[in-house]
Structure 1
Amino acid sequence: MISLQQGPGFRFNIQNLAIPTINPQVVLVELEVSGFCGTDLSLAHGYFGPCQPILGHEGVGRIVAVGSQCTSDAAVVGRLVGVGWIRDACGFCRVFSGRDVPGTLAQYTVVPERYITPLPEDVPSEMLAPIMCAGVTAFKALKVASPIQGSWVGISGAAGGVGSLALAYARQMGYRPIAIDGGERRRLACMDAGAEIYLDYQKEDNLRSALLLKTDGELCSAMIVCAGAVTAYEAALDCLDYHGTLVAVGIPPPTSKMSLHPLPLIDYGIRIVGSVTGNRADIAEAAEFVRKGLVKPKITEISLQDLEKYAGRVDELEGKLVVRLSSRAG
């Protein structure tokens, strides 16, 4: 496993620990890969308070041991499963990987029987890892937004891990994706991910005007904000059509605040909603797009030893960072 020393100058150290013991109601999973995302980076910096020494919440691996009281059909040795941000859920309570319990940047982890998340067997584990958080977050945000079929859907922060997958899902779900990001390199990445239009916020003084120009006078029925900046939310609101929905996904720094007057929301019937991630049913749906070859996550695969080198560059990479933990074939 790799242990975190949390703080502004965070460090990772590889350590050898005993394989976790299991109680009667959990299963032991040998992880093959784990993604590393922006939330992990924020936890490492300490932006969200104390966290576990083992981060990670995009794990994929196989069940290798089953608790004595596990009876569900999912609790089977050899089954391919995912371990996401939500590690366990009971009623209104949720337990989060890497924050509340040890995460997935380790060769072994335990999962409660009631929250086992089976994954399709015929997809490489490294392609499924991004779906456990970034992919299902993008997919669920689009479901929550409920855009009109065939309408424009804006994705702010579109070149990032969540944003690029949101573009791919939006196209496959029958929407017309508009990417909002900055720079030529990100434009190419967004167009490759499925964007129909690219808006460069670094070049446009007014995103609404630029949007209207490129869509022949149409606005977006939904805006998915994956960018972690208050200005991204303010610009997104300005790009929404009547009865449009803004879905908040990107997390601005804790000190950032967005102020708005309620009148535009009332006059235009605009909704603002938050979407943290998806549940097991959402993961199954999102993974099916990958199994069918409709969504193909772009990844950078690294070894555990290289994590510290790449961790601080998560926002610079095209696609998702995936850490190889085991050589077992998926």
Structure 2
Amino acid sequence: MAAVLQDQGPNFTFRIQEVEIPTLKPREVLVKLEATGFCGTDLSLAYGYLGSCNSILGHEGIGRIVATGSDCASKAAVEGQRVGIGWIRDACGSCRVCISAAGGETRCITQVFSGRDIPGTLASFAVVPERYITPLPDDVPSELLAPVMCAGVTAYKALKVANSTPGSWIALSGAAGGVGLLGLQYAKAMGYRTIAIDGGERRGGICLDAGAEIYLDYEKEKDLRSAILRETGGTLCSAVIVCAGAASAYESALHCLDYFGTLVAVGIPPPTSKVSFHPLTLIDYGVKVIGSITGDRVDILEAAEFVRRGLVKPKVIGIGLNELSQYSRRVNELDGKLVVRLEN
């Protein structure tokens, strides 16, 4: 079974139907999926905001290998192995970007994306190249691991590249979203003091429940920089992770940074938006602006370990495949990660 996208655009729907089990190539494995998340990127693909896509979306899949290609030789390519399938389905491992630095495969020149370039994880089965298998621990429920494959690892990787000192203040802008809420948990587990920035009283409660030490409502605060100084007793942030997709969030975040702080860009503003700030802000304070994308396979394993140890507990809303059309448009409004059960 699979949820097949119909009428990409504002009137999209999903049709639940039988599809053929994918045919394996010699260096591929077949994965029977147990659960998959549905995230904001899937919604943007369904609406057509990110261009054309595959008719089967999804990139937060958890399952087990049930068949291997004739030439598979990896120790991980064995039946019964639990694996995850994320946004990046394949990377070459040999282009100048892949070998340039740790995590370079996340920007591989020839990378393949789940749900955009090839069928995603909103289906009972999916194929994965042997070279891009991501083994996962057995002792964590699938519905808790699914959010790690995109939202969780994206938040975790952003905190890693911020390279801040544990014990320092880190703010997450857009903290009540899928990435932000997991980011608050990871930040706390990694030893940071957390400031959540979002709008509205209800979102404030959600952020505080997720581990935020301070919540700032941008709808009420005229000056976030002054508000942070007030709430922390005179200290600014060593890093701000911007998960919100608004240009204004970036402009405000830059002024919340302490000397030598880091602004990490994760949220994606609309294509027509532009971020505007004077370079003296960077020059005077020595701050850095870094773009962070989803993590690589090592990042996924590290992020999953926090969940296995109980330090990060994704709040999930579990649904059946036939409920996807009902919930998909609300994915950015829900108080947890939407996870689709794929097993009866």
Q: Under TM normalisation by the shorter chain, which class is it?
A: over 0.9
Aligned with 1:71 (options 60, 65, 73): 73
What residue number does 1:35 align with? 37
What residue number does 2:295 align with? 278
What residue number does 2:169 align with? 152
Aligned-partner Cα distance in 1 for 2:216–2:125: 43
What residue number does 1:134 align with? 151
What residue number does 2:3 align with? 2
Aligned-partner Cα distance in 2 for 1:288–1:111: 22
Structure 1 portions without partners, runs of 5+: none
Aligned-partner Cα distance in 2 for 1:290–1:149: 19
Q: What are the Cα deviations for residues 188-213 of structure 1, in whole angstroms up to 9, with x where unaligned?
A: 11011110000001111111111110
What residue number does 1:120 align with? 137
Q: Give the CA deviation at 1:234.
A: 0.8
Aligned with 2:338 (options 317, 321, 325): 321
Aligned partner letter, 1:85: W
What percent identity do the matched residue pairs reach? 70
Aligned with 1:247 (options 264, 267, 282): 264
Query: Does 2:231 match 1:214?
Result: yes
Aligned-partner Cα distance in 1 for 2:204–2:11: 31
Aligned with 1:16 (options 9, 15, 18): 18
RMSD: 0.8
Aligned partner letter, 1:97: S
Aligned-partner Cα distance in 2 for 1:82–1:234: 36
What residue number does 2:122 align with? 105
Aligned partner letter, 1:10: F
Mapping of residues 173-192 of structure 1, within 5 Å: 173-192=190-209
Q: Give the TM-score, by structure 2 length.
A: 0.94
Query: Does 2:310 match 1:306?
Result: no
Q: Give the CA deviation at 1:260.
A: 2.0
Q: Give the TM-score, by structure 1 length.
A: 0.98
What residue number does 2:105 align with? none
1:117 partner SS: coil
Aligned-partner Cα distance in 1 for 2:212–2:238: 16
1:321 partner SS: strand
Bigger shift: residues 107-116 or 88-97: 88-97
Question: Is residue 155–residue 223 contact of structure 1 (8 Å, CA) maintained in 2?
Answer: yes
Question: Is residue 47–residue 254 contact of structure 1 (8 Å, CA) maintained in 2?
Answer: no
Structure 2 portions without partners, runs of 5+: 96-107
Aligned partner letter, 2:245: G
Moved over 2 A (4+): none
Question: Is residue 224–residue 247 contact of structure 1 (8 Å, CA) maintained in 2?
Answer: yes
